[in-house]
Structure 1
């Protein structure tokens, strides 16, 4: 394939995504006109016994029983120095969308107007209940707002809709704001298996998380053919349920042939009708999540399940027979595969994803919902696209499909998830620097003001490292790892694999940075040397959990692995030097993993929360008074502040009194103190002391060692996917982080809700060197 041809073809598929998304209708679709069933299409002579339609309340309760139009979804997002209010209706508004707003609920004196978009979805909203369908997507930006301020707004009635109640949002804190805040981080969330996550996420929102950050795989709309069931009272497998297997196994009802013309449903014992389809799956999930997205900004990025109407087929090519040939309940040879042409135009190339959200791509110099960044307090957050727009991406453009001198690929040369590129490609599609996303990412990282936002957190959908090794991980590393190390990204978050996994700090090609490990639950940042990687893909969906193969053990790069619990995570920025992370189990809200990431204390006297030799203290509520005494380099900086609460990191055993309580600490831990107001005094020598190694040698199987990931007993190796790394070494004793008293740190692997004795997580390890490094 000639490079010139590759560039031309790559732009062909990209054009429909630029600035104003539209459905790609340039390529034919020969499947069923409306792939639904007799629950909507009465012309189908089905059995009439399909499942009832699943429903969720709309964002706005209609004023009358049979509305002609309605606001069904409302979702907030950040937009530069303002907020975007996104809302969805089944039909148009007859005018530009608008929002009345103000600083008082009783005085909405300002009006903001926006724009609307739509696409020709199947089934159209004319054939679906008005309060359960979205086909028109409206975005209104309110700009130039004050930071960290509550505003009130109301969506007016238009063309049959009912006006919303007076709602509110809170703007982002300005960059450099030193108050602590918490973010809800989730990935891979449908609604099957996600009931507990949904409950705990709502609780976290009510308790004050700043925003939700969803790293791709949103709704699992493309799994519609698997069948989503409404709940029976005793079934865990269903919509908003907690399991993914029918109790009692498969019933004989599954074997009953369906009437001619009926739509097959692999998930329901009565067969016949789809209880949800691709578009209605999106509608249902978005209305389910309204209670969160209406309260806090809901920031998203693309995953593989947003690409198209389907991803894979099952035995017998049942889905290809249906979509390609309009032959329900039939099989076909493997040559009848799913292609780009298998989906209706509105269900290709991330069309639904582009319309159903509005992220700050324009405000941050990125591209729409695909890559963008924003500041919040002491952190810079980066969302980027791990699915397209880099060499050998998992979902690729037509340029990788063409053969010889073709201008566009033949149908059988395409794949159903072909997508993008969504940015410009200036050069070879096999060179990362050719891609607009790469160039944007480098420019964005280079422009971060680390005095204002010392923390830089990046997320895309796919991991760079995992104990579940896959070739895409090397492609991710080749494209982005060098940039992240160069610019000192502190943590990289991802999902895709449906479990929770936290690695040890990793350098280039999986080198474990032992100097950055204080203990299994506390790392220090080591800019340019290593990054903390967290796979957070356990929110819950119809595909259930990922698990290691039988006999396989985690790689030695993995510190914590949980294959059995669903949930989400909370990321808390306490101050310039302390970040904590907690995996919240959906089952009961308990913690599945608690982790602290610390930085060296700042050499700037203007920073009011530096580490002392005894503890790292972070104010977690509004400071009521602060005074600072700053000396030149080599002198002493003293900061005195009065706070309502604070978090302190104790690196070893200690005893202290705060207010009416006395705290006794036997080992290194992080405490939140609420017996306040409290006066905190921070002193620090300038310049700060260098980092001393907090890791000494010990013995443990499957612990960090060497310059590249090593093979562990029963595990798999990353070496064949890296360049320049050493080959796997035989399983057996290796060096590992170890406590001052010789206590060995070890990997935590949760399987089936139990932790084996040989995989227990040793408590925090007290290290004098760690305290010195945090000064």
Structure 2
């Protein structure tokens, strides 16, 4: 009898194990350690932490750092390796943060440049030659998207996977280096992303980990603003924390979750002016990026975007924004088209992608039952790819980091609002909002 009972227990355990295996074929990864970046001495004049960003129509901003105060903010460039037919001078800055002093931070705008063209360039008359490719002037265009990057083993995997995809530009909705007051971590982050950020434009906006304010001593975002200058002036903004740009038929809004955003703020007034200038015949797609999500069914950071949502969601809805990309929550989630807390065929698709590889780990706990607007959610590290094929259709895919391999785990075709008739329906509401004092 005992032998029979033991046999039954073994059989039940085997069946249970088979059931669990069938239902749990994917195990969410554990957090990986922060990468070890021992500080190394460099040639004082050599450029490092090189990254590029758009700087207006057919222009690119080249940013880099060196330790030699006499090195010029000069970029030489051309379409043939080692042959520099053009050059441009820029500006430089530096900053102190308690006992830390940055190197000389250079920002030089080059152009006009040909679209969809490979250029070779050199910074400060010396150092290695870099290679970059300008974005196309028309569809298709592909964006790589990953927020909350940090500097962990998972960050390295995410960057490696992005490097494997054919993309034209990287969009980063906040939380870059996770320096968190340790300024050398800004330097190590710049080194980590240089291979990718020096070859394709990186367009970023700020997250909470960029703030680094110290009451009575330091204002917020000093390090971020000094190192990652974006085209805010070119877009009529008064702050590096929010701006916009056009690329290949897409108007992209980079908004600031940590800049004032109520109806009396500079950001709100700038956004109204910016949206009033959008020509949907020239840029049929409109995207928005900011850090704190408005639609979030994860228990992490619940409700933190409510104030920004209250003031700005009506603007984005009336303007017919197609897709909103955010970070902050360390997981992935995609909504259907949504507005005012419920599904709406004329609202944006909201995508939270704060899963680039941060050291704080994943946000595993979700609210149940799942809201009706939430289409897919998963707590895993990964990145997204947005290929805008033409004026009417775009293909979104999310690739989780599964044992260091990029596995496509969510995908959807998205139809633009301009092709659905929603934009024409909203013209009156948009005019009413834009004309309001």
Q: TM-score, normalised by structure 2?
A: 0.81
Match of 2:282 among 452, 474, 481: 452
* Cα distance in 2 between the residues matched to 1:281 and 1:113: 28
Counterparts in 2 of 1:443 and 1:601: CA distance versus 1, 3 Å: closer
Specify the alignment match of 2:110 in structure 1: 142
1:369 aligns with 2:240: yes
Specify whether residues 141 and 554 from structure 1 end up closer, same or farther in structure 2 by C-alpha distance, changes over 3 A only: same
Deviation at 1:152, TM superposition (A): 2.3
Distance 1:458 1:373, change over 3 A: same
Q: Following superposition of structure 1 onto structure 2, how do residues 78-477 of structure 1 map, counting pairs within 5 Å?
A: 78-81=54-57, 82-92=59-69, 94=70, 96-124=72-100, 134-157=102-125, 163-174=126-137, 177=138, 179-192=139-152, 193-204=154-165, 208-222=166-180, 278-308=182-212, 340-341=215-216, 345=218, 348-391=219-262, 432=263, 434-468=264-298, 470-477=302-309
Change (3 A) 1:461 1:600: closer
CA shift at 1:141, angstroms? 0.5
Distance (whole Å) between structure 1 residues aligned to residue 196 and residue 161 of structure 2: 11
Q: Alpha-carbon deviations, 1:518-574, whole Å to 9, x = none? A: xxxxxxxx3xxx12111111112111011226x8443232111102x2011001100
Which secondary structure does the structure 2 equivalent of 1:278 belong to?
coil
Structure 1 residues 599 and 113, CA gap change in structure 2 (3 angstroms): closer
Q: Is the 8 A contact 2:135 2:169 kept in 1?
A: no
Alignment of 1:598 with 2:415, yes or no, is yes
Partners of 1:195 and 1:368 in 2: CA distance: 31
Q: Which of 498, 504, 514 is the aligned partner of 2:330?
A: 498
Distance 2:116 2:239 in 1: 24
Indicate how the Cα distance of structure 1 residues 536 and 510 shifts in structure 2: closer, same or farther if over 3 A, else same: same
Do the aligned residues in 2 keep the contact of 1:199 with 1:586 (CA within 8 Å)?
no
The one-character-per-residue Cα deviations of 1:414-446 (angstroms, maximum 9, x if unpaired) are: xxxxxxxxxxxxxxxxxx1x2121111112112
- C-alpha distance in structure 1 between counterparts of 2:278 and 2:238, whole Å: 18
Contact (CA 8 Å) 1:501, 1:562: kept in 2 or not?
yes
Q: Within 5 A, what are the aligned runs for 1:19-30?
A: none
Q: Identify if the C-alpha distance between structure 1 residues 172 and 547 changes in structure 2 by more than 3 Å, giving closer, same or farther.
A: same
Deviation at 1:95, TM superposition (A): 5.3
Distance in structure 1 (CA, Å) of the matches to 2:35 and 2:53: 33
| RMSD, aligned CA | 2.6
In structure 2, relative to structure 1, the CA distance for the partners of 1:454 and 1:66 (3 Å cut) is: closer
Q: Write out per-residue CA displacement over residues 679-720 of structure 1, whole angstroms, 9 at most, x where no aligned residue.
A: xxxxxxxx9xx99xxxxxxxxxxxxxxxxxxxxxxxxxxxxx
CA separation of 1:374 and 1:52: change in aligned 2, threshold 3 A: closer
CA distance in structure 1 between the partners assigned to 2:279 and 2:35 by the alignment:
54
Contact 1:188-1:495 within 8 A present in 2 as well: yes
Partner Cα separation in structure 2 for residue 579 and residue 68 of structure 1: 46
Taking the TM superposition and a 5 Å limit, the aligned residue runs for 1:751-766 are none
Residue in 2 aligned with 1:546? Answer: 363
For 1:293 and 1:279, locate their aligned partners in 2 and report how far apart those are by CA, in whole Å: 20
Aligned in 2, Cα 1:600/1:488: closer, same or farther, shift over 3 Å? closer
Structure-1 residue corresponding to 2:343: 512
Report the counterpart of residue 557 of structure 1 in structure 2: 373
1:183-239 CA-partner distances (Å, limit 9, x unpaired): 0011111122423212212222xxx310111110111111xxxxxxxxxxxxxxxxx
Unaligned runs of 5+ in 2: 1-33, 426-437
| DSSP 3-state at the match of 1:497 | coil
CA contact (8 A) 1:198 1:586 kept: no
Which fold has the larger relative contact order, with Cα–Cα distance below 8 Å and residues 6 or more apart in sequence?
2
- Structure 1: tracts of 5 or more residues without a match: 1-50, 58-64, 126-133, 158-162, 223-276, 310-338, 392-431, 517-525, 604-686, 692-775
CA distance in 1, matches of 2:99, 2:36: 14
Relative distance call for 1:185 and 1:96 in structure 2 (3 A) is same
Which of these two proteins has the greater Rg computed from alpha carbons? 1
2-structure distance, mates of 1:547, 1:387: 25
Which secondary structure state, in structure 1, belongs to the residue aligned with residue 399 of structure 2? strand
Aligned positions, number: 384
SS in 2 for 1:445: helix
Does the 8 A contact of 2:328 with 2:354 survive in 1? yes
1:440 and 1:601 map into 2 onto residues whose CA distance is 23
Q: 2: CA distance between counterparts of 1:147 and 1:68?
A: 34
Aligned mates of 2:311, 2:42 — CA distance in 1: 53
Provide Cα deviations, 1:292-317, integer angstroms capped at 9, x if missing partner.
111101111010110016xxxxxxxx
Q: Distance in 2 between matches of 1:95 and 1:56?
A: 21
* Shift in alpha-carbon separation, 1:600–1:154, aligned structure 2, 3 A: closer
- Rate the CA distance shift 1:286–1:52 in 2: closer, same or farther, 3 A: closer
Structure 1 residues 52 and 480: CA distance shift in structure 2, 3 A? closer
The structure with the greater share of residues assigned to helix is: 2
Distance 1:473 1:95, change over 3 A: closer
Query: Aligned residue for 1:413?
Result: none
CA contact (8 A) 1:505 1:531 kept: yes
Contact residue 384 and residue 399 of structure 2 kept, 8 A = yes
Higher strand share: 2
Shift of 1:602: 5.5
Alpha-carbon shift at residue 123 of structure 1 (Å): 4.2
